[in-house]
A and B are shown apart, each in its own frame.
Chain A
Amino acid sequence: MNSKTILAAAGLALLTTTTALAGDVRIMWYSDGVEGEVLKDLLSRFSEENPGINVIVDEVAYSVIKEQLPVQLAGGNGPDIARVTDIKNLAEYWLDLTPYLSDPETWKKNYGAQADWMRVDGSDAITGFMTQITLTGGFANKTLFEQAGVELPGNDATWAEWVEASSKVAESQQLPFAFAIDRSGHRIAGPAISYGAKFIGEDGMPNPVDDGMKAFIADFVKWNEDGSHAKDVWVSAAGTTYRPATDDFINAQTAFYYSGSWQVANLDTKIDGAFDWVATGSPCGPEACTGMPGGAAVVAIKDTKNPEEVAKVMEYLASTPVAKEFAERTLFLPANKEVIAGGLDFDTDSQAVKDVLNTFVAATETTAPEAQALPAWKWAGPYYSALVSRVSQVIAGELTLEDAYARIDSDMADKVKQAQ
């Protein structure tokens, strides 16, 4: 073999390792629990049926999706498919699958309810589907409530009633605090709407902080100051950093934990029978008893070189039997209407977990219209950021409530100006 042949072979080898070949479909995927494993198992069956399509799954941390994917998309170097939660703000990068799908109508029928969440305003493109619908809601440590001899508040109980009951449990059981809400603007959006807050103004732009929002923030700050709420969670970080209180609930350090349905598999695995726990739905405010819907979507990327193959993979993953199996094995609430209508047999031996999931399904009935609209609203993310950073500052004693309200409004005005 002469040197030219060796060089040519080396060059070809290099090219084949760095260039996407026709038929390659690269998926960027993050996992909250076991869904990465389930996805790969489902795709192995797809590959058997479609030997011409080479599906590559790049499993990455959520931070990569949040921080690096937007840069890759802007540079035209993204994957072919990605699993994302910032669905609306990046919608300009999603591919319209309509011309490539074999049955767009069925897709619209099954996933149409969330279609607006993942396309630019005014478009009717089919860009992807929700792998799961999530809903924020509470979890109570039933064992601690029983040991304290405190009744679990009922379905229509208010936030004040939940805080009062949890405080009694905390006092009786010597807990460091009564309840905790994750450090996230999304997590307090539902409770704020329950108090009557309106995020979206009549012109579709961010609404100034209103009486409902003020009432909830004031109560939330008060609960932090009197020690009912876990001060660590909201004060122990600056800016927009996300901090969950999951470990505090798992370690039985708090009686009531407000997070969401995506935690079910995680709590089931980690609590592992150490105590009994139940889902509670969302406590009520004067206006509603609502959680915040959301979830993760699988979307096709506009810059893909293989749109036909991408559409085939997407259609397979979105199909009713595959979506059903995915939901049952990951313990996620499905978005596919056919799957919901047909009922689910969640892959768990625990009746308690099944009850928890059913509670979340039931809680979707009380979701307020304002909460339903937020996932498709482009300013929701920036509003959550402003809320979390300014409310934290109030709890830390850096801002007064009135200053915080003014700052949230000016932060949003800045964001709108910056985006124009």
Chain B
Amino acid sequence: MSADSSRQRYTLSGLSFAVIRPVMGLIDIPLRALQRVGGQTGMAAFFILPNMAVFTIFVLVPFVINFVYSMTGGIEIFLNQRDFVGAYQYKEIFSCADYLEPATCKQDGFWTAAQNTAMFVVLQVALLIAVSLITAVILNREIIGRSFWRAVFFFPVLLSPVVVGLIWRWILQRDGLLNAILFELFGADQFNWLVDRTAAFAATIGVSIWAHMGFYTLILLAGLQAIPKDLYEAAEMDGTPRSRVFWRITMPLLMPNLLVVLVLALIRAVQVFDEVFVLTGGGPGTSTMYIVQYIYEMGFASELRNPGLAAAASILMGAVLIVLTLLQMAAARRNEKKGAN
């Protein structure tokens, strides 16, 4: 087969050609004029403008409004009816004898939620990446039913977080599926997984990993498949042990994907709310109440809601997210430089 015949040829039918050509001609005139006036930079700005407008309206403006909210007090909902109180809400949050001991803080709920979130982020992200990586490495091999297994691991990603929470609640509650299985197999007594503090905390981590790992596995799988096969063939010919191949070839070449996974997983973990809210409601006590639930409680659920405090808490959470993102960007840049050298 010649190169020419293997290439698919796309042609416009007569009607399409008759319509598209004049339209393209019309668009072409202002674009050329714009390029003459603004040059290449002006053209770039012109094309990025719609995106920036959407970003401004739906991200930047709400962020600024939220910041202004955090400087107001009272119980009114609308900004123009609220009193300006300066940094009062932030002072309330930071009014603490010992930040590691929430009971000594005026807003003990905030610090409890912040500590819970920090612990959740560290454990969930570390475990999530480890599990996703192991799964991706296994699914990258020539195993029987590989496509089926990929679908199985990706399936929970398609579920609504509320559905995830409900499914696992039915499994873990006192008279749930897990206790029934344990009773059938071992005659075990009913254990209240969602009332025990440690078990409930572990459950939120486990369920969150189960629900999201498919997405990260997919990213890592794409990275693994992009690694040239000849590197592995060369290592095999040299008789390099598998563990050394993994640490010296796979991991360095997978690092850009791992960084993406790390950034996304961190941001998502800090924002954890929906499936946990359905699963544990933040309990037992406040042991699985994370920062977004605290903000929700303050701003929307409690009697005499406190929008100012909720806004201040969300600004602090946003600040943490920005710092995390900047750190990850710096790490990515360093990694790129290393790769270039």
Contact = CB atoms under 8 A, between A and B. Distances in A.
A397 B197 contact: yes
Contact of A382 (B78, B195, B283, B303): B303
B212 to A, nearest CB: 22
Interface in B172-216: 173-175, 190, 192, 194-195, 197
Consensus secondary structure, chain A interface: helix
Of residues A75, A236, A398, which shows the largest number of chain B Cβ atoms within 10 Å of its Cβ? Answer: A236
Given A399-B103, A418-B74, A238 B301 contact: no
Interface in B292-313: 293, 297, 300-304, 306
Contacts of B103: 399, 403
Interface stretch (A27-35, A66-74, A318-326): A66-74
A419 interface: yes
Contacts of A415: 303-304
Contact of B195 (A235, A240, A403): A235
B306 A239 contact: no
Interface string B70-90: 000111111001000000000
Contact of A67 (B194, B281, B301): B301
A238 B303 contact: no
B106 to A, nearest CB: 8
B280 interface: yes
B74 A398 contact: no
Interface string B298-341: 00111110100000000000000000000000000000000000
A96 B248 CA distance: 78
Interface string A381-401: 110110000001101111100
B285 A393 contact: yes
A350 interface: no
A239 B77 contact: no
Consensus secondary structure, chain B interface: loop
A241 interface: yes
Contacts of B287: 396, 398
B289 A239 contact: yes
A74 B286 contact: no
B282 interface: yes
B284 interface: yes
A231 B285 contact: no
Contacts of A232: 173-174, 192, 194-195
A239 B304 contact: no
Given A74-B78, A239-B302, A385-B302, A397 B285 contact: yes
A288 B161 CA distance: 46
Given A418-B73, A418-B306, A67 B289 contact: no
B226 to A, nearest CB: 44
A215 interface: no
A354 interface: no
Contacts of B286: 238-239, 393, 396, 398
A238 B75 contact: no
B124 interface: no
B288 interface: yes
A237 interface: yes
Contact of B283 (A89, A235, A385, A419): A235
Interface in A227-257: 231-232, 235-241, 243, 253
B300 A67 contact: yes
Contact of A237 (B78, B175, B190, B281): B281
A228 to B, nearest CB: 15
A237 to B, nearest CB: 3
Contact of B285 (A384, A385, A396): A396
A391 B125 CA distance: 33
A74 B287 CA distance: 34
B282 A237 contact: yes
A239 B282 contact: yes
A176 interface: yes
Contacts of B283: 235-238, 392, 396
Of residues A231, A392, A398, which shows the largest number of chain B Cβ atoms within 10 Å of its Cβ? Answer: A398
Contacts of B194: 232, 236
A176 B75 CA distance: 42
B288 to A, nearest CB: 7
Interface of B: 73-78, 81, 103, 106, 108-109, 173-175, 190, 192, 194-195, 197, 280-289, 293, 297, 300-304, 306
| 6 nearest A-B pairs in the assembled complex, by CB-CB distance | A396-B285, A238-B282, A237-B281, A381-B303, A238-B289, A398-B285
20 contacts: A67-B300, A89-B303, A232-B192, A235-B195, A237-B280, A237-B281, A237-B282, A239-B297, A240-B297, A241-B281, A382-B302, A384-B303, A396-B285, A396-B286, A397-B197, A398-B286, A410-B106, A418-B75, A418-B306, A419-B304
